A and B are shown apart, each in its own frame.
Chain A
Amino acid sequence: MTLSTDSWSFLLAAMLLVPAVGAAVVALLPAPRIVATLFAAVTFVLTLTPVVFSRDLLWVSYGDRPPAVVPWLNLDLPWVPALGLDFHLGVDAISYPLIVLTGLLTVLCCAYTGSRPLAALLLILEVGVLGTFLALDLILFFVFFEVVLLPMYAIIAGWGGPGRRAAARKFVLYTLVGSVLLLIAVVTVVSQAGTGDLTGSFDLSRHLQYFVFILLFVAFAIKAPLWPLHTWLPDAHTEAPTVGSVMLAGVLLKMGTYGLIRIGLGVAPEGAEWASPVLGVLAVVAILAGSLICLRQRELKRLIAYSSVGHMGFVLLGIATLTVTGIQAALIGNIAHGLITGLLFFLVGTLKERAGTGSLDQLSGLREQAPRLAGLLGFAAIASLGLPGLAGFWGEAFAVVAAVQAGGPLWVTCGVLAACGGALTAAYFLRLLRRVTHGPATPMVRGAKPSIAGVEWFAWGPLVLLTLVVGVAPALIVSGTDIPILRLLEAVSRG
């Protein structure tokens, strides 16, 4: 039995409407804390539903010029024709895992946080992130890309650490630079191609594609972030409250990598092909630089933040290869990083709150004082360093495989260096574990509460579980993505 997809496309609008209404209710009415979690939970359930409508594309024939994106669910309404803006939403195999991840992390964060305004901001953030992943119109994508800026600023500036003002300002100005470049790029494309519809094809001249891709590349490289445009990230992560860090690492960074796949490859395939060596080299530099900086870090959250730079380097390396394997590795890497780094930020945030310090010099002996917390931290760190069988492995291993398969001295070198970066990742995470969990307990650690509360289990449990599940069955994330990716890459090879 097949369900008619048109009559269910309201689900897509509901995914945005429910958290938006939830944010308004939580912010304006004196509702109890649980209400925010309920709204987030309903949204999460909604984000799960599109899989019911997934279609195996092999069964569908589309003439000789197949559309670039065949969404499972599709909602297309005119919004502002004067600006070429359609309210066009859709889900396909590439965006689906990210949408579910966003829904999940928002529920966990809403349940974890105790502050009502903070929960409302998380829900607004969710609207922006889900909208970005759902948008199938270029200008709409840009609008949602902008939605996340101010709520994230408010989360950092309102609930952050001592240097929050400066960190929040740096975050918002830095990422706005990326957004405005994206604005110029999408407006140029819509103006020249006459359409902003991502399910269609864009006929742009080669030089225009180069120009557009450079703008998109810088815009998404700031968001992802890619070395050397990553400098806003460590400050933002260090100062942000725990849930802010989780959302930032878990889903906000993915907007950059997703944008590069969906918009960058979709709109300017020739530009992507032209720039891919640069992207690959920068990604490898990011991996190595991230790892080397991590080896020298003395602050927990900063260390995890820099580890994100390295992990996102692997994702970008996967994309840069412009092969099915590479992009699938990037998609798994995206999800794995969201789960594992989300978990890591939850854990180090809690540890920092309880011990009152995030300095590695003052933390040791956690194993004796709080064995469960130390166990979870060990699990997350090992998952993050890419142990086979856990989620972190697939994305990084196959990014390297894709680079080596791509052939040629440049890509093989990139693959080899990335693999060395992977080894360095293991080195700094083991250093972290040695410093924090082993050794004699410091007074700070001894003063920390060892038990794990129910709400913490609720927030962390799903992430631990999914890290295992994705590690065992990565096909869950990439099944059905081969054909959409081939569609994107066809345009590249055609050019």
Chain B
Amino acid sequence: MGSQVVGHFSLIPIYAAASTAILALLADLFTGRRAVIVGVTLLGALATAVCAVVAVDASPTFCAGGGCSWVPSGAAATVAVLFAGLTAGVLAFSLPALRLGIAPAGEFCFLLACSMTGGVTVGYAGDLITLIVGLETLTLPLYVLVGLRRFAPSERVTTDGAAASVTFFLISVISTVIALLGVALNYAATGGVHLAALTAAAPPFAALAGVGAALLVIGLAFKVAAVPLHAWAPATYDGAPVPIAAYLSTASKLGGVIALAAVVSRLDTRAVVAVLAILTMTIGNLVALRQTRMIRLLAWSSVAQAGYILAALALGEPGVVAALAYAAFFVILELIAFGVVVALRAPGQDGGTLDDYRGAGRRFPWLGAAFVLALAGLAGLPPGLAGLFAKLSVVDALVDANWTWLAGVVVLNAVIALAYYVRVAAGLYSLPERVGLSVADPVLVDEALHPHGPVPRPVAVTISAAVVVAVVLGFAPQALFDALS
């Protein structure tokens, strides 16, 4: 058997991502200086994005037996750019904590870059094995990152992070096993692992292939926290450091969505995905209504948002562009929301309760405006035009396919969701609680009672960049649709 020709040009995004991880490790080993490590990682993320854009028209490589394992495309490049951007953003959110030594910078950057490498792989994967390896590379470093926290000697040591980490690890491993079983059954029935070769099986094996496809979808549904496979998400998000929760809710979810999109567009899994979609959005939204902790509320809202994406994916191939567009709009808005939470809390603090954010919009008008933009977008309303177009694309895809009833479920859920989004947004601007004695200016007293330094610059810069991207995409969403198709 002759050796394969490897198209190195097609592989430059993954080379860039993987070298970022290695360079971060080496920088820690040889310099040990935080600035260098972080700088190398940020530059590496930038390089990954640039390489993805440069290699957008590259030809597929690792081709054998009728399919290719590495398939560059517009959608893959967009996904790689998103992963690079999310990695850089989350790293910037973590800088205040790294500066205080809450987590070791070298390990943190290495793990984050590894995770980015996995994400890029998922985007380009052309067969089920590469897809699952990519997904595992994306998730594996996160088990550590969720629990990676050092406590100062005076600090009370909590095991929340460790508990979250173990929960996440156990669920994730089980889900991978289920997905792999699905891949194996499907391979047994059809003899194909390449995405291009995935088709319905011949009659004697049709049932086996069907079970395989369903198991694969269920395994991947764990990753996007679809109900009833969602229970790990709120607990894990709330126990993890806030920037890592942001990464779980954006990058990790994006990886799951891409993997699901790759599978559902070729195998007929419409019934399973439609049921998952309805359960996910409805239960996610209803439970979010009752939440009083900020991160848990965002976690449940992110569960519900996954439901809208699944609704588009239930269509199979016709819904893929809408689902990916929704996911792209969603991760940007979600990054802004988590960024504001990071900015409003002290480094290393958890997300706190909704009451902790009372009046925050008055104390920090810009952060308040960014949060309102993100929440409006998640609710699918102007001024969050990006979110409006996201909802519109999903509803459009569903109605085009004559699934108007599912579009109806989606939009009614949007109404439920608005109830808790406005609760959070209104809380930001509500007047502080009475202090018990009459004061001339309750807002001034509130500011005095809530001492808070300036927002760390990297966090502010990242939020601004994400807001700019959200606003630009809000006015020019066609750019994203063009990039994805």
Instruction: Known contacts A82-B478, A146-B388, A176-B415; decide if A184 and B422 are in contact (CB<8 Å).
Output: no
A63-71, A147-155, A380-388 - the one binding chain B = A147-155
Cα of A190 to Cα of B407 in the assembled complex, Å: 15
A165 close to B (CB within 8 Å): yes
- In the complex, residue of chain B having the shortest beta-carbon distance to the beta carbon of A190: B396
A172 close to B (CB within 8 Å): yes
Q: Nearest Cβ in chain A — how far from B183, in angstroms?
A: 33
Q: Which chain A residues border B415 with CB–CB below 8 Å? A: 173, 176-177, 180
Q: Nearest Cβ in chain A — how far from B329, in angstroms?
A: 12
Q: Nearest Cβ in chain B — how far from A222, in angstroms?
A: 12
Would you call A157 and B426 a contact (CB within 8 A)? yes
8 Å CB interface, B398-415 against A: 399-400, 404, 407-408, 411-412, 414-415
Q: Nearest Cβ in chain B — how far from A186, in angstroms?
A: 10
Q: Which chain A residues border B399 with CB–CB below 8 Å? A: 184, 187-188, 191
Would you call B419 and A173 a contact (CB within 8 A)? yes
Would you call B412 and A83 a contact (CB within 8 A)? no
B135-143, B376-384, B438-446 - the one binding chain A = B376-384
Would you call B411 and A180 a contact (CB within 8 A)? yes
Q: Which chain B residues border A25 with CB–CB below 8 Å? A: none
Q: Nearest Cβ in chain A — how far from B91, in angstroms?
A: 30
Instruction: Known contacts A82-B481, A143-B388, A146-B382; decide if A187 and B419 are in contact (CB<8 Å).
Output: no
Cα of A176 to Cα of B416 in the assembled complex, Å: 10
Q: 0/1 per residue, A163-202, Cβ < 8 Å to B?
A: 0010011001100110011011001101100000000000
Cα of A187 to Cα of B389 in the assembled complex, Å: 12
Cα of A172 to Cα of B422 in the assembled complex, Å: 9
Pairs across A and B, CB under 8 Å, 28 listed: A80-B478, A80-B481, A81-B478, A82-B477, A82-B478, A83-B389, A83-B393, A85-B392, A124-B383, A128-B382, A143-B388, A146-B381, A146-B388, A147-B383, A150-B383, A157-B426, A158-B429, A173-B418, A176-B415, A183-B395, A184-B395, A187-B392, A187-B395, A187-B396, A187-B399, A187-B407, A190-B396, A191-B396
Q: Nearest Cβ in chain A — how far from B345, in angstroms?
A: 25
Q: Which chain A residues border B382 with CB–CB below 8 Å? A: 128, 143, 146-147, 149-150
Q: Which chain A residues border B414 with CB–CB below 8 Å? A: 176, 180
Q: Give the A interface residue count (CB, 8 A).
A: 33
Q: Which chain A residues border B419 with CB–CB below 8 Å? A: 169, 173
A255 close to B (CB within 8 Å): no
Instruction: Known contacts A153-B422, A187-B407; decide if A180 and B412 are in contact (CB<8 Å).
Output: yes
Cα of A82 to Cα of B395 in the assembled complex, Å: 13
Greatest chain A CB density within 10 A among B381, B392, B393 is at B392
Would you call B426 and A165 a contact (CB within 8 A)? yes
Cα of A180 to Cα of B408 in the assembled complex, Å: 8
Q: Which chain B residues border A165 with CB–CB below 8 Å? A: 426
Helix, strand, loop or mixed for chain A's interface?
helix
Helix, strand, loop or mixed for chain B's interface?
helix
Cα of A83 to Cα of B390 in the assembled complex, Å: 10
Would you call A83 and B381 a contact (CB within 8 A)? no
Q: Nearest Cβ in chain B — how far from A212, in angstroms?
A: 11
Cα of A150 to Cα of B478 in the assembled complex, Å: 25
Cα of A180 to Cα of B381 in the assembled complex, Å: 11
16 other contacts beyond A169-B422, A184-B395, with CB at 8 A cut-off? A80-B481, A82-B321, A82-B393, A83-B477, A84-B396, A124-B383, A128-B382, A150-B381, A173-B415, A173-B418, A176-B415, A177-B412, A180-B415, A181-B411, A187-B396, A191-B396
Instruction: Known contacts A180-B412, A187-B407; decide if A149 and B400 are in contact (CB<8 Å).
Output: no
Instruction: Known contacts A184-B407, A184-B408, A188-B399; decide if A83 and B418 are in contact (CB<8 Å).
Output: no
Cα of A422 to Cα of B382 in the assembled complex, Å: 39
Would you call B411 and A80 a contact (CB within 8 A)? no
Closest 7 CB pairs of A and B: A180-B411, A82-B481, A147-B382, A187-B399, A191-B400, A191-B399, A80-B478
A457 close to B (CB within 8 Å): no
Q: Which chain B residues border A158 with CB–CB below 8 Å? A: 429
A79 close to B (CB within 8 Å): yes
A414 close to B (CB within 8 Å): no
Cα of A172 to Cα of B389 in the assembled complex, Å: 20
Would you call A184 and B404 a contact (CB within 8 A)? yes
Cα of A82 to Cα of B397 in the assembled complex, Å: 10
Greatest chain B CB density within 10 A among A81, A147, A176 is at A176
Instruction: Known contacts A180-B411, A183-B392, A184-B399; decide if A149 and B381 are in contact (CB<8 Å).
Output: yes
Cα of A172 to Cα of B415 in the assembled complex, Å: 9
A139 close to B (CB within 8 Å): yes
Q: 0/1 per residue, B449-484, Cβ < 8 Å to A?
A: 000000000000000000000000000011001100
Q: Nearest Cβ in chain B — how far from A283, in angstroms?
A: 26
- In the complex, residue of chain A having the shortest beta-carbon distance to the beta carbon of B383: A150
Q: 0/1 per residue, B364-378, Cβ < 8 Å to A?
A: 000000000000100
- In the complex, residue of chain A having the shortest beta-carbon distance to the beta carbon of B405: A184
Cα of A153 to Cα of B412 in the assembled complex, Å: 19
Q: Which chain A residues border B411 with CB–CB below 8 Å? A: 180-181, 183-184
Cα of A79 to Cα of B383 in the assembled complex, Å: 17
Instruction: Known contacts A143-B382, A176-B414, A176-B415; decide if A80 and B389 are in contact (CB<8 Å).
Output: yes
- In the complex, residue of chain B having the shortest beta-carbon distance to the beta carbon of A81: B478
Q: Which chain B residues border A128 with CB–CB below 8 Å? A: 382
Cα of A79 to Cα of B400 in the assembled complex, Å: 20
Q: Nearest Cβ in chain B — how far from A157, in angstroms?
A: 6
Cα of A82 to Cα of B485 in the assembled complex, Å: 10
Q: Which chain A residues border B407 with CB–CB below 8 Å? A: 184, 187
Cα of A82 to Cα of B392 in the assembled complex, Å: 11
Q: Which chain A residues border B481 with CB–CB below 8 Å? A: 80, 82-83
Q: Which chain A residues border B482 with CB–CB below 8 Å? A: 82
Q: Nearest Cβ in chain B — how far from A70, in angstroms?
A: 28
Q: Which chain A residues border B389 with CB–CB below 8 Å? A: 80, 83
